[in-house]
Amino acid sequence: MKFLRYEKNGTISGGILDPESGEIREIDGLPFEGMRPTGKKARLSEVRLLAPVVPSKIVAVGLNYKDHAREMGKKIPEEPLLFLKAPSALNRPGGDVVYPPSSQRVDYEAELAIVIGKVAKDVSEKDAPSVIFGYTCINDVTARDLQMKDGLFARAKGFDTFAPIGPWIETELDPNALGVRCLVNGETRQDGNTREMAASACRLVAFISQVMTLLPGDVIATGTPPGVGPVKVGDVMTIEVEGIGSLTNRVVAPQPPRKEEPPT
């Protein structure tokens, strides 16, 4: 099942996509239990895709691919290295990624994302699949120079628009051997596989749930393969995860601040 969120004629809805026909069956109900069809339908070509979920938190994992850790001059952590991306960084498929004026280097990071479907606290690795709703693509956009300057992740990864997610959530997927790629302007920059992850998807869910309660709709970004690099204004980033689809976003310059009208 491919679950998505979309906007049509000013109304936001959830739906199930038939990828062959492009038909969307609208559904009602809170994510992700009790979903039921409304009988309404739309076509993929008629709607504006939104981020397929609005998470209470985006939990990300650093250095979870051995070759990426090596290219960053780091060792694989003994335990998963966690950080949070601001929920306000959420971006949609096709949404613009704004290059912040305070940064001189912004990088793409292609990742598989886990979407939580049930409240999860102290879940075992064995039981982790029972709380996972599905998987999607995420681009963990990073102001690399600010990450190095701060020695922390919050500012570098927390800018508005720095968490594109989508295009939809695939619920029927084995996450353990999936190709993960990033293309910039059609040129392949990253080409990895989730079998290279130090901590598997289920291990990450179990580990994180020992730290914080995961809520339906929460997103876990599972780390990026080697090949991260910079983008510039005008570049188009496409994240591809095998079995899911592609997530495309353009890098744009920030809009100049609006001038206040003089009092009359």
Convert the pLDDT of each residue in 57-87 to its tens digit. Answer: 999 999 999 878 788 787 888 999 999 999 9
Band (pLDDT 50/70/90 cuts) for residue 52 is very high
Residue 193 has pLDDT above 70, yes or no: yes
Band (pLDDT 50/70/90 cuts) for residue 259 is low
Q: Are residues 88 and 135 in the same domain?
A: yes
Sign of CA dihedral 77, 165, 36, 119: positive
Answer whether residue 258 is part of any domain.
no
Give the domain range for residue 9: 2-50
Answer whether residue 165 is part of any domain.
yes
Q: Are residues 130 and 113 in the same domain?
A: yes
Answer whether residue 264 is part of any domain.
no
Band (pLDDT 50/70/90 cuts) for residue 28 is confident
The count of domains in the chain is 2
Which of 100-104, 200-204, 244-248, 257-261 is least confident?
Answer: 257-261
Residue 176 has pLDDT above 90, yes or no: yes
pTM: 0.94
**Strand pairing category for 132-139 and 110-116:** antiparallel
CATH of the domain at 184: 3.90.850.10
